[in-house]
């Protein structure tokens, strides 16, 4: 295994392949920075180019792009409160408030470094797990996946900022919204009102843009101020952000482990994993009363998780041909174009150099992407000093353009406007919007796995050991979350924290 | 926070969600057994939660009014805060309307015409930028949108006319 790893490193360190990694990394960062595009668009764009390339160069290009989309999406999430990809939504919760208090540099530094560590963790796990991946993936059936979805849904009570009734209501609205369209296990067209657009359901990108991008930018342009007026700490805080990440090693490890392990399980999805990492971090850290208001730990946890997810998702993609997400699904096509057939035979020693080239590319692209992001942070951070009314019109054009890219139908734009209006009013009235997105993300998976579990096992699945363990986790996490909300331990005065922020 | 407008909005929002929940549950009755389970119980949960929130909002709305009966001070505070709060809400909605109008324009003339026009007008009337700079910004957005569509081969929303 070690010999094969050294051989793969030699293959990938050739100048032309390093250039392909650089090209993929630059494209990945660009796709992450522009809201609404993301890894799927990148994969789709790259597929025609990889045809005819040698497999190692093609892998360098595809994996290089895939590895850093989640790093680049931190820029819009932190600086303007717009998710670059759906996975970036959790980072907004604390990253954007930090940018508004003039700590954009600190948030970006922490996020990029956590992303890099998470990505390296994912690559290391991918390397270590190759020999034992098969039993691990097969151990999680539909009952365990249903319970994992319920674990994510249980976080709505924790993430509802002291308004649990509104939080649960918001989460249920998300679940209901996710049921629009063709039912997963029957022929019901649910809540489509004879609209062809609604028959395929509402796209997650559209919902995320409506819930976060529209209200944030509308409020910014209404106020007419810049995102921040604190020039001093704009990008100068980056070393502090890196130190924050180093100080929170446990949180990085926890986020990376959640990202990798849940990434291995097909069907959970990167966006859900980030929210789970964020929710678990909020429950497990001390003095969490600043979470959601600009706590750097709320940036570190989801950022570590989202990059490590890529490593995890590659395990079922490569070893079983089961894509862990949309990007992996297109990657499968790309690998086939390169003459590589993903599946159990990939675990054969003959294919080991290919697999290990992927591992190395993932690691190199993460380091390269982080270095590029740290270089770009200062010029890009200056955007937050531009008055919002100058920036806003451009951002609105980007939002409309990005929402149209979801399914290329006018319905996307209509939905983003209608849900956007709802989100503007929800923000104005302090209704929690995060649970709505969590409900929307996890609802379909929960329904699908519940239906499969009950149709296959009746009620017997309730006694599965895995199900019981996750159920205990859910009860414990809800209990802990509710207890913390009722008795906030050692609350830190907001004024003191604001002073510290300045 | 408890301005008349916001109170009305809060109660209206909760009432809307009650209707969504009840409507969702009623519509779910027509689905098959397998397809009904999740939407029906989600709708039922929404109706119950929204009804709880509605009651809470109505009770909260009545409290300051009762306090005002005695001193009259509450009414002064409400008016003052309403004066502060109204323009923000109105401005928020005006900007949302501007975006909706932009989307409607895209539907008619397509993104390549609507985007430069929207950017120029929004900068002129929203940020008081000089016309010359607005025209420059319009050209920049046109170039950016065209460049992205060409390089990434992204389909752009086409209008009825172009």
**Nearest chain B alpha carbon to A413:** B103
Query: pLDDT band at A344, cuts 50/70/90?
Result: low
B35, B52, B152: residue with CB nearest A183: B35
Residue A182, phi then psi, degrees to nearest 5: -70, 130
Residue B61: is its pLDDT beyond 70? yes
Question: Which residues contact residue A364 at a Cβ distance below 8 angstroms, ignoring those fewer than 6 apart?
Answer: A12, A18, A21, A64
Residue A247: is its pLDDT beyond 70? yes
Residue A42: is its pLDDT beyond 80? no
Interface check for B153 against chain A (CB to CB < 8 A): the answer is: yes
Question: Which residues contact residue A91 at a Cβ distance below 8 angstroms, ignoring those fewer than 6 apart?
Answer: A73, A74, A77, A78, A83, A111, A274, A299, A302, A303, A306
The number of helix segments (H) and strand segments (E) in chain B equals 5, 0
Contact between B83 and B54 under an 8 Å Cβ cutoff? The reply is no
In chain A, residues with a C-beta closer than 8 Å to the C-beta of B118 are: 393, 396-397
Taking only the tens place, the pLDDT of each residue in B104-139 is 999 999 999 999 999 999 999 988 999 999 999 999
| Average pLDDT of span A125-152 | 77
| Average pLDDT of span A431-450 | 84
pLDDT for B87? 54
In chain B, residues with a C-beta closer than 8 Å to the C-beta of A390 are: 123, 127, 129
How many beta-carbon pairs below 8 A join chains A and B? 169
Residue A86: is its pLDDT beyond 70? no
3-state secondary structure of A74: helix
CB atoms A165 and B53 under 8 Å: yes
The number of helix segments (H) and strand segments (E) in chain A equals 24, 2
CB atoms B100 and A431 under 8 Å: no
- Cα–Cα distance, B51 to B53 (Å, whole number): 5
Q: Which of residues 50-79 of B touch A (CB under 8 A)?
A: 50, 52-53, 56
In chain B, residues with a C-beta closer than 8 Å to the C-beta of A393 are: 118-119, 122-123, 126, 137
| Average pLDDT of span A256-284 | 80
- Cα–Cα distance, A223 to B89 (Å, whole number): 11
Per-range mean pLDDT, top range of A82-86, A187-191, A231-235, A303-307? A187-191
Distance, in angstroms, between B142 CA and closest chain A CA? 10
Contact between B114 and B106 under an 8 Å Cβ cutoff? The reply is yes
CB-hemisphere CA count at 13 Å for A444?
Answer: 21
In chain A, residues with a C-beta closer than 8 Å to the C-beta of B157 are: 400-401, 404, 410, 413
Nearest to A301 by CA among A338, A339, A345, A257: A257
- The answer to which of A258-262, A477-481, B7-11, B50-54 has the lowest mean pLDDT is A477-481
B38, B52, B106: residue with CB nearest A175: B38
**Nearest chain B alpha carbon to A439:** B42
pLDDT for A4? 79
pLDDT for B46? 95
Taking residue A302's Cβ as centre, other Cβ atoms within 10 Å add up to 37
- Cα–Cα distance, A56 to A272 (Å, whole number): 31
pLDDT for A381? 72
Contact between B94 and A384 under an 8 Å Cβ cutoff? The reply is no
CB atoms B49 and A165 under 8 Å: yes
B10, B42, B102: residue with CB nearest A175: B42
Query: pLDDT band at B17, cuts 50/70/90?
Result: very high
CB atoms B9 and A450 under 8 Å: no
In chain A, residues with a C-beta closer than 8 Å to the C-beta of B53 are: 165-166, 169
| Residue A102 CB-density burial (10 A; 0-12 exposed, 13-18 middle, 19+ buried) | buried
Q: What is the CA radius of gyration of chain B?
A: 24
Nearest to A180 by CA among B48, B23, B39: B39
pLDDT for A483? 66
Taking residue A341's Cβ as centre, other Cβ atoms within 10 Å add up to 12
Higher-confidence residue: B85 or A278? A278
Residue A500: is its pLDDT beyond 60? no
* Percent above pLDDT 90 for chain B: 57
pLDDT for A470? 85
User: Maximum Cα–Cα distance for chain A, whole Å?
Assistant: 62
- The answer to which of A255-269, A321-335, A382-396, A419-433 has the lowest mean pLDDT is A321-335
Query: pLDDT band at B27, cuts 50/70/90?
Result: very high
Query: pLDDT band at A440, cuts 50/70/90?
Result: confident
| Residue B75 CB-density burial (10 A; 0-12 exposed, 13-18 middle, 19+ buried) | middle
**Nearest chain B alpha carbon to A41:** B152
* pTM for this prediction: 0.74
Residue A235: is its pLDDT beyond 70? no
In chain A, residues with a C-beta closer than 8 Å to the C-beta of B10 are: 429
Query: pLDDT band at B85, cuts 50/70/90?
Result: very low
CB atoms A191 and B39 under 8 Å: yes
In chain A, residues with a C-beta closer than 8 Å to the C-beta of B51 are: none
Residue A372: is its pLDDT beyond 60? yes
In chain A, residues with a C-beta closer than 8 Å to the C-beta of B154 are: 41, 401, 405
In chain B, residues with a C-beta closer than 8 Å to the C-beta of A34 are: 148
B36, B37, B46: residue with CB nearest A176: B46
Higher-confidence residue: A104 or A180? A180
- Cα–Cα distance, A391 to A384 (Å, whole number): 9
Which H or E element spans position A46?
helix A38-50
Nearest to A238 by CA among A138, A340, A104: A104
Residue B52: is its pLDDT beyond 90? yes
pLDDT for B116? 95
Residue A111: is its pLDDT beyond 80? yes
- Name residue A190's beta-bridge partners: A181
Buried b / exposed e over A357-394, threshold 16 CB at 10 Å, is bbbbbbbbbbebbbebbbebbeebbebbbebbbbbbbb
Contact between A370 and A25 under an 8 Å Cβ cutoff? The reply is no
| Average pLDDT of span A252-278 | 81
pLDDT for A322? 67
Beta strands in A199-330 (DSSP E): none
- The answer to which of A42-56, A175-189, B35-49, B125-139 has the lowest mean pLDDT is A42-56
Mean pLDDT of chain B: 84
Mutate which of A26, A191, A393, A425 to test chain B, going by most B C-beta atoms within 10 A? A393
pLDDT for A366? 85
Residue A277: is its pLDDT beyond 90? no
B42, B89, B137: residue with CB nearest A176: B42
Interface check for B6 against chain A (CB to CB < 8 A): the answer is: yes
**Nearest chain A alpha carbon to B26:** A191
Mean pLDDT of chain A: 81
Distance, in angstroms, between B68 CA and closest chain A CA? 23
Mutate which of A165, A172, A199 to test chain B, going by most B C-beta atoms within 10 A? A172
Residue B65: is its pLDDT beyond 70? no
Residue A465: is its pLDDT beyond 80? yes
Distance, in angstroms, between B134 CA and closest chain A CA? 10
- Cα–Cα distance, B111 to B162 (Å, whole number): 9
| Average pLDDT of span A37-54 | 71
Contact between A62 and A328 under an 8 Å Cβ cutoff? The reply is no
pLDDT for A324? 63
Interface check for B101 against chain A (CB to CB < 8 A): the answer is: no
């Amino acid at each position: 295994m070690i010999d094969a790893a050294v051989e793969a490193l030699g293959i990938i360190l050739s100048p032309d392949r390093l250039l392909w990694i650089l090209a993929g990394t630059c494209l990945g960062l660009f796709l992450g920075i522009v809201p609404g595009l993301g890894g799927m668009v990148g994969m789709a764009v790259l597929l025609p180019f990889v045809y005819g390339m040698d497999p190692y160069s093609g892998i360098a290009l595809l994996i290089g792009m895939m590895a850093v989309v989640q790093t680049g999406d931190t820029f819009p999430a932190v600086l303007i409160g717009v998710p670059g990809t759906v996975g970036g939504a959790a980072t907004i919760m604390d990253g954007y408030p930090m940018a508004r208090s003039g700590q954009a540099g600190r948030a970006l530094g922490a996020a990029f470094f956590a992303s890099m560590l998470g990505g390296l963790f994912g690559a290391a796990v991918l390397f270590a797990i190759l020999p034992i991946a098969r039993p691990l993936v097969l151990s999680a059936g539909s009952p365990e996946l249903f319970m994992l979805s319920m674990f994510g849904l249980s976080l709505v009570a924790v993430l509802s900022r002291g308004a649990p009734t509104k939080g649960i209501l918001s989460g249920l609205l998300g679940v209901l919204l996710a049921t629009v369209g063709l039912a997963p296990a029957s022929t019901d067209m649910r809540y489509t009102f004879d609209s062809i657009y609604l028959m395929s359901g509402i796209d997650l990108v559209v919902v995320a843009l409506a819930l976060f991008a529209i209200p944030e930018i509308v409020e910014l342009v209404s106020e007419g101020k810049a995102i921040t007026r604190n020039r001093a700490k704009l990008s100068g805080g980056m070393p502090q952000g890196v130190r924050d990440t180093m100080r929170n090693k446990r949180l990085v490890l926890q986020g990376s482990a959640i990202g990798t392990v849940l990434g291995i399980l097909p069907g959970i999805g990167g966006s859900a994993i980030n929210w789970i990492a964020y929710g678990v971090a909020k429950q497990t850290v001390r003095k969490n009363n600043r979470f959601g208001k600009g706590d750097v730990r709320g940036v570190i946890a989801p950022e570590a998780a989202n990059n490590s997810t890529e490593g995890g998702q590659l395990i079922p993609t490569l070893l079983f041909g089961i894509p862990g997400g949309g990007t992996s699904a297109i990657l499968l096509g790309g690998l086939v174009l390169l003459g590589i057939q993903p599946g159990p035979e990939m675990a054969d020693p003959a294919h080991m150099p290919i697999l290990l080239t992927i591992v190395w590319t993932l690691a190199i692209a993460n380091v390269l992407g982080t270095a590029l992001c740290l270089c770009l942070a200062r010029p890009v951070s200056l955007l937050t000093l531009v008055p919002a009314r100058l920036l806003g019109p451009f951002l609105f054009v980007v939002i409309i353009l990005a929402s149209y890219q979801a399914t290329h139908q006018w319905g996307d734009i209509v939905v983003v406007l209608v849900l956007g209006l709802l989100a503007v009013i929800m923000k104005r009235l302090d209704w929690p919007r995060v649970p709505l997105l969590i409900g929307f993300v996890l609802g379909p998976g929960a329904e699908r796995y519940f239906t499969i579990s009950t149709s296959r096992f009746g009620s017997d699945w309730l006694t599965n050991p895995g199900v019981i363990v996750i159920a205990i986790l859910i009860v414990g996490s809800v209990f802990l979350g509710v207890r913390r909300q009722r008795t906030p331990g050692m609350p830190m005065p907001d004024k003191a924290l604001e002073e510290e922020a300045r | 926070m408890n301005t008349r407008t916001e109170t009305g909005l809060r109660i209206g929002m909760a009432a809307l969600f009650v209707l969504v929940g009840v409507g969702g549950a009623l519509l779910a009755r027509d689905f098959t057994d397998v397809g009904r389970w999740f939407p029906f119980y989600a709708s039922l949960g929404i109706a119950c939660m929204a009804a709880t929130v509605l009651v809470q909002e109505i009770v909260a709305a009545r409290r300051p009014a009762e306090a005002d009966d005695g001193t009259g001070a509450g009414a002064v505070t409400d008016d003052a805060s309403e004066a502060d709060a109204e323009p923000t809400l109105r401005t928020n909605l005006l900007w949302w309307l501007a975006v909706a109008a932009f989307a409607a324009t895209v539907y008619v003339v397509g993104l390549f015409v609507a985007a430069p026009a929207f950017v120029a007008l929004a900068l002129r009337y929203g940020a008081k930028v000089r016309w010359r700079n607005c025209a420059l910004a319009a050209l920049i957005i046109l170039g950016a949108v065209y460049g992205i569509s060409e390089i990434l081969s992204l389909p752009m929303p086409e209008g009825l006319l172009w």
